[in-house]
Structure 1
Amino acid sequence: MTVHDLAKQVNDYIGDGPDMTKGRETGIEGLYVHRQSKPSPFEATIYHPVICLNLQGRKQVAVGERSAEFGLGQSLIVSHDLPVAARVTEASPEHPYLAIIVALDIAILRGLSEEIGDTARGNHRAGALATSITDAALVDAMSRYFALVGDPLEARVMAPLILKEIHFRLLMASHGGMLRQLMQRDSHASRISRAIGRIRTGYRSPLTVAGLAEEAGMSPSSFHDHFKQITGTTPLQYQKDMRLMEARRLIAFDGLSVSSAAYEVGYESATQFSREYSRKFGTPPRADAVRPGFAV
């Protein structure tokens, strides 16, 4: 199946529904579709490990000093949890932005390591965001995965097999270098992944680069350099982004006051929180508290 064929199927599946600010679930675990009919401003969000295949339009994703834009037939691989700014750059009602997204399972990737062996070698210059033209075999595998939507019996039997194939195709892809590094349990990519997990669970508490480096079994300077090379941002900036995005959710969805949200995510000064929030999102926190239907 071609990218154009898959785009038509995804568009027909979504039907006359409204634009989505996030991927829509399909009923197949970890499989999402996305459609947007006009360009959008940058929106801060958290990307978990995924493969995002662009079927129509263009999208840009930025983290720290790194930015990636991808269009028709290209795909974005995200290998680590990342706080990103993303926007649709090319879309219209006649030709909306369309994408199909599959969540990645690091356990599946590592489970393939014994079968693949040294065939797929890591690219040590790879980052946690990578884009490239998508191989026809990967497009075909993702098309067959999407074809399981609406057929519970086939999905139950075939989904695990096709999902494993998708992971294999990604490991062999030209932009799968960081995934190949993650197969190695004691690689820098794996250590940084564990450090990210530590930051995500403990972002409310003070963290130090030295402490994170010690947990990762690396020197502070080496840890800092590898963290930035892989994620495009620094450990402390990553923690700050996590705090601000969680605070935004608390304000917009849980109805917390600005000061309560600031203290909840670890800020001691509401003034500093408001200043950094405005710099991050381009609007003061009180504005998000009154935005109806706000989506993070």
Structure 2
Amino acid sequence: MVQGTKEVLLNEETYQYTVAQYLLVSVDLPLSGCVIGATPDKPFLGFKLKLDPAQLCEIIAQTNLHKCKKESVKGWFISDADPLLIDCAIRLTKLLDTPQDIPFLAPMIVREIYYRLLTGEQCEAVRQIATAGSNMQRIAEVVKQLRINFTEPLEIEKLAEQANISAASFHRHFKAVTSMSPLQYQKQLRLLAARQMMLAENADAAQAAYQVGYESTSQFSREYSRMFGAPPMRYIERLRTA
């Protein structure tokens, strides 16, 4: 984050990060966010970089940074950016002033950013992105399936089998990586999808509830209110008139 403040919502909890901090997400999570600190004089300004697991793996192999914890680590975090990491981001951004230098210099700076992340405060989470067979990668594969089939009933035994671990271990590792249980993760996906349907497709609450997999509209309304702070249609109307 270069300027301003951003707020992210995950599992009914709200987190903020601001100047000289960064959010790193190593597993696909149902995060929703909004800018809460920006003015016309000082607009929101951020720097985003998509990490390449193959390049991370190459750096780990070359620098002997392959030793990871066996236990799962959280798949997202907010941290302070140290001066060396900030310097990398600044140098990469400044290449916009000399676009002819981008093809040659940008890959080297990006590689340095990877190295700084792999040797920094949250190195274990970054390493597990590129570590074949790590608990994070196992959970990440399960998460892909959950995102595709989020309207279907949850079958923990099948998910645990896919991750090649017991059901009890699956619950523990899933929560360690995503900060929520599989059921909570599915609920987040459903509620976010329902919000999109009501906002963009003009669906009513009952239609949205059934389309995302709810059998009870009252349960949907309760869980929606708990997550977003207001009943479905009242919340949507607030968004439309804001």
- Give the alignment's TM-score, normalised by structure 1: 0.69
> How many percent identity over aligned positions?
37
1:40-55 maps to which residues of 2 (within 5 A)?
Answer: 54-55=1-2
1:175-214 maps to which residues of 2 (within 5 A)?
Answer: 175-214=122-161
Decide which moves more: 244-253 or 151-160: 151-160
Matched, 1:283 2:207: no
Distance in 1, Cα, partners of 2:204 & 2:75: 34
Question: Does the residue aligned with 1:77 lie in a helix, a strand or coil?
Answer: strand
Matched, 1:100 2:47: yes
- In the TM superposition, residue 223 of structure 1 has moved relative to its aligned partner by 0.7
Q: Which amino acid aligns with 1:131?
A: I
1:158-169 maps to which residues of 2 (within 5 A)?
Answer: 158-169=105-116
Structure (1/2) with the larger helix percentage: 2
Of the three residues 66, 88, 92, the one matched with 1:141 is: 88
Matched, 1:239 2:186: yes
Of the three residues 171, 174, 182, the one matched with 1:227 is: 174
Distance in 2, Cα, partners of 1:125 & 1:97: 34
> Any conservation in 2 of the 1:64–1:233 contact (CA below 8 Å)?
yes
> Any conservation in 1 of the 2:228–2:235 contact (CA below 8 Å)?
no
Is there any run of 5+ residues in structure 2 with no aligned partner, and where? none
Matched, 1:80 2:27: yes
Residue in 2 that maps onto 1:122: 68
1:145-160 maps to which residues of 2 (within 5 A)?
Answer: 145-149=92-96, 153-160=100-107
Decide which moves more: 154-163 or 214-223: 154-163
Question: Does the residue aligned with 2:2 lie in a helix, a strand or coil?
Answer: strand
> Any conservation in 2 of the 1:192–1:216 contact (CA below 8 Å)?
yes
Structure (1/2) with the larger strand percentage: 1
Change (3 A) 1:285 1:135: same
- Give the alignment's TM-score, normalised by structure 2: 0.83
Matched, 1:171 2:134: no
Distance in 2, Cα, partners of 1:293 & 1:109: 42
Of the three residues 251, 265, 268, the one matched with 2:215 is: 268
Question: Does the residue aligned with 1:75 lie in a helix, a strand or coil?
Answer: strand
> Any conservation in 1 of the 2:12–2:227 contact (CA below 8 Å)?
no
Question: Does the residue aligned with 1:99 lie in a helix, a strand or coil?
Answer: coil
> Any conservation in 2 of the 1:138–1:169 contact (CA below 8 Å)?
yes
Q: Which amino acid aligns with 1:140?
A: D
> Any conservation in 1 of the 2:21–2:78 contact (CA below 8 Å)?
yes
- In the TM superposition, residue 66 of structure 1 has moved relative to its aligned partner by 7.2
Change (3 A) 1:160 1:260: farther
Decide which moves more: 134-143 or 150-159: 150-159
- In the TM superposition, residue 229 of structure 1 has moved relative to its aligned partner by 1.1
Distance in 1, Cα, partners of 2:201 & 2:47: 30
Q: Which amino acid aligns with 1:272?
A: Q
Alpha-carbon displacement from aligned partner over 1:31-82 (angstroms, at most 9, x marks no partner): xxxxxxxxxxxxxxxxxxxxxxx33455554534877554432322221112
Decide which moves more: 96-105 or 222-231: 96-105
Question: Does the residue aligned with 1:237 lie in a helix, a strand or coil?
Answer: helix
- Of structures 1 and 2, the one with the larger relative CO (CA 8 A, separation 6+) is 2
